[in-house]
Amino acid sequence: MTMTALHPAIGRSETVTDTLDLRQARHMQLTLDQDPTLGPGDPLPPFWHYLYFNPQIKASDLAPDGHERLGRFLPDLGLPRRMWAGGSVTLHAPLPLGAEVTKTTTIRDVSRKNGRSGALGFVTVAHDFSHGGQHCLTEVQNIVYRAPPAPGSTPSAPPPAPDGATFSRKITPDPVLLFRYSALIFYGHRIHYDAEYTREVEGYPGLIVHGPLTATLLIAFGMEQAGGRVLRRYEIRAMSPLFAPAPFWLEGRAEGETLSLWARTGAGGCAMKVTLFLGD
C-alpha cells in the first residue's frame, strides 16, 4: 500500500455550524471599498464562505507564524510552512445571508514527495455546506506543505501570464486591506500583516496578499463580465504569491461557456488562474 492509503489522517472529519451573519458580509463589502448593500436572505457572494466557519483557536494554540498548530485536524507532516494552493467549488444552491449553515470537512488525501525545492506535502480537503437539509456548496481545497526557506533564498519567479486578455483591472493592495481581510476571516498568519517577520523569517520581499482574497477579486470581476449567466462551478490554481503594495492586474477572456481569468504581476508573471463555468 502507498503512504497515501496508509496515512491515518485520511477520512478524518469534523462538522461545524455557523450563521451567515449579515454584519460580517457588509464588513467585507466595506473592506472591498463597496457600499454595504447586502440584506437578509441575499445569496452569499462567491467565495465569501471564507468569512465564516473559521476555527476558534486560542492564542496559546497558535504556532510562531500565527497559524493554528498542526496536528489537531490537519496532519503534521514535519513541514511547517503550509499554503493554500487553490481547488474547486461546485454551487448547488444559494447560501442565504442570515441562515444557519452546516459545514462538514473531510481529509480526502495526504501525500509527500521531493521536488526541486525540497520536500513537499500535499493535503486534499473536502468541505460540504448544507442549509435546511439541502446540499448547497462543495469545495475541494488543496494545501501544500513546505520546509522552511534556506537562508538567503528568494521566491522563484512565477510563470508568464497568458496573452489575449479582453478585460483588465488594476488592483493596488495595501496593508490595511490585508489586515481587515485577516480580521474578517479570523486568520493570524503573520505573512499578511507583519512585514518584518515576512522578510526576515519567511524570506519574502513584502506582505503577501491572501490567496483566497485574490480568488475572491478574480471571481467577482469575472462575474461582472458574465452577462447575467449563472455561476455553476469554478476552479482555482494559486501559482505564486502577490506582494503588497505592488499593483497587480485582474485579467481574463471568454472561452465558450467559461471565463478564463488570471492575476498578472507588474513583471508579467501569473500569480493565480481561475476558470468560471457558467450556465443559464
- 111-128 pLDDT, tens digit per residue, is 988 877 788 999 999 999
Q: pLDDT tier at 148 (50, 70, 90 boundaries)? A: confident
Residue 42 counted as domain residue: yes
Alpha-carbon gap, residue 54 to 41, rounded angstroms: 21
Residue 67 counted as domain residue: yes
Give the CATH number for residue 250: 3.10.129.10
Mean pLDDT calculated for residue range 74-101: 94
Of 185, 176, 229, nearest to 211 by C-alpha is 185
Domain carrying residue 237: 12-279
The pTM is what? 0.94
Q: Which residue has the cell 471599498?
A: 33
Residue 38 counted as domain residue: yes
Residue 64 counted as domain residue: yes
CB 190 within 8 A of CB 204: no
Residue 45 counted as domain residue: yes
Residue 7 counted as domain residue: no
Grid coordinates representing 69?
Answer: 498548530
Return phi, psi of residue 28, to 5°. -65, -40
Helices (H) and strands (E) in the chain, counts: 5, 12
177, with CB counted inside 10 A (0-12, 13-18, 19+), is buried
Q: What is the pLDDT of residues 28-78, one digit of tens each?
A: 999 999 999 999 999 999 999 999 999 888 999 998 888 888 888 889 898
Give the rounded percent of residues in the chain with a pLDDT score beyond 90. 78
Residue 103 counted as domain residue: yes
Q: Does residue 40 have a cis peptide bond before it, meaning omega lies within 30 degrees of 0? A: no
Q: What is the pLDDT of residues 197-216, one digit of tens each?
A: 999 998 899 999 999 999 99
Domain count, the chain: 1
CB 191 within 8 A of CB 197: yes
Alpha-carbon gap, residue 191 to 111, rounded angstroms: 25
Residue 47 counted as domain residue: yes
Q: Which residue has the cell 494552493?
A: 85
CB 53 within 8 A of CB 137: no
Alpha-carbon gap, residue 23 to 98, rounded angstroms: 9
Angle between helices 211-224 and 175-184 (to 10 degrees): 100
